[in-house]
Amino acid sequence: MRTRLSDPSRRGFLAAGAALAGAAMTGPAAAAQPFFKRVGLPIGIQLYTLGPDAAKDLDGTLAAVAAMGYRNVELAGFLGRKPVEMRAALDRAGLKCASAHVQARALGPDGGFDGDLDKLAEGLAAVGAVNAVMPSPRIPDRLAGRPAEGESIGDFYRRVTGALTLHDWQMNAAFLNEKGAVLKKAGIRIGYHNHNFEFRPLSGNSGGETTGMEVLLKETDPDVVTFEIDVGWVAAAGLDPIALMQKHKGRFTMMHVKDLKAGTEPNFALSMQPTEIGSGKLDWKRLLPAAYAAGVRGFYVEQEPPFERPRIEAAKINHDFLAGVTA
């Protein structure tokens, strides 16, 4: 005669089985899974990685990106398209866009945070973006202008960002709070993306030395402003991105996944030796789970020029490496 479990006993048996299954999923078997599969997040790409070709052949570029296995893209503007046109191109490729970079000052038809925020929010919503990330600080009027004769755009930008003061960074924090409060009402979260100049020590203030990044993290409202950590630029500043995220747990919700060669000298002047992810100095087996534990949920590949191979090939190398990382 078969003994039938009573309802309470049966529930206990099933609960125990579920607990064992859950333990298996968080034990060695789960750790052996590729990171992105384990956490159930897609690998995204910032389209800046692909350079001018993305704008010249948008459908072809997006189709190639999707074929590599990318599922999310982060926009650097609308690439000369209307938002509805961009959304249609993304849909044709089977891609989603949850984030877009938006300049502080209006640049061309894509606008900026100092432009019409209602129109900006409408455009972002049309492509599906819920994050609007300021990719660099708002340069104060006294420093804005054009490169001097013979000065490259890069040198111009190094000069003006190197001249930013404590007051300028406080102005940027206030700017993010102000614009973020407006965009939040439209369902858009504002963010800030770092380079390495944000970590330059600022002197001459009553609190001793601080940095632009510390000012932004301290003086922005966590309910309004988030951050996109560019781990390559953090490392280029000679700092540990894991320590930064752990110190400010919950503030960084997006990441630019970027690698750099070991020969990069620590600096605060927009200098690095870029390379494909997995070919550089960063320890991705530690970095990816640490980022997830600190609150990062949007991961976007971004590679800086110069490239040693065609950009589209580099994008595939980056994706394939990340897809295989077990952590």
pLDDT, tens digit, 9 for 90 and up, residues 170-195: 999 999 999 999 999 999 999 999 99
CA-closest candidate to residue 69, choices 326, 327, 324: 324
Confidence at residue 109, expressed as pLDDT on a 0 to 100 scale: 77
Instruction: Kindly state the DSSP code that residue 326 receives in the 8-state scheme.
Output: B
Q: Give the position of tokens 């309004």.
A: 224
Confidence at residue 163, expressed as pLDDT on a 0 to 100 scale: 96
Query: Residue 204's pLDDT band (boundaries 50, 70, 90)?
Result: low
Average pLDDT, the chain: 91
Q: Quote the CA–CA distance of 109 and 16 in Å, as a whole number.
A: 59
Percent of the chain predicted with pLDDT > 90:
84
For the purposes of burial, counting CB atoms within 10 Å of the CB of 240, is it exposed (0-12), middle (13-18) or buried (19 or more)? middle
The continuous run of DSSP H or E covering 301 comes out as strand 298-301
Q: Quote the CA–CA distance of 313 and 281 in Å, as a whole number.
A: 20
Question: Quick check: 207 pLDDT over 80?
Answer: no
Q: Give the pLDDT confidence of 30-85 residue by residue, as tens digits.
A: 668 999 999 999 999 999 999 998 999 999 999 999 999 999 999 999 999 999 99
For the purposes of burial, counting CB atoms within 10 Å of the CB of 6, is it exposed (0-12), middle (13-18) or buried (19 or more)? exposed
Q: Give the pLDDT confidence of 285-325 residue by residue, as tens digits.
A: 999 999 999 999 999 999 999 999 999 999 999 999 999 99
In this structure, what token pair is assigned to residue 59? 């459908």
CB-based contact 256:302 (threshold 8 Å): yes
Confidence at residue 227, expressed as pLDDT on a 0 to 100 scale: 99
Q: Which residue did the predictor score with more confidence, 258 or 26?
A: 258
| C-alpha torsion sign, points 139, 143, 146, 150 | negative
Q: Give the pLDDT confidence of 209-235 residue by residue, as tens digits.
A: 899 999 999 999 999 999 999 999 999
CA-closest candidate to residue 302, choices 324, 278, 276, 321: 276
For the domain 42-298, what is the CATH code?
3.20.20.150
CB-based contact 75:127 (threshold 8 Å): yes
User: What is the DSSP annotation of 115-165?
Assistant: S-HHHHHHHHHHHT--EEEE-SPPPPTTT-S-PPTT--HHHHHHHHHHT--
In this structure, what token pair is assigned to residue 166? 């404590």
For the purposes of burial, counting CB atoms within 10 Å of the CB of 311, is it exposed (0-12), middle (13-18) or buried (19 or more)? middle
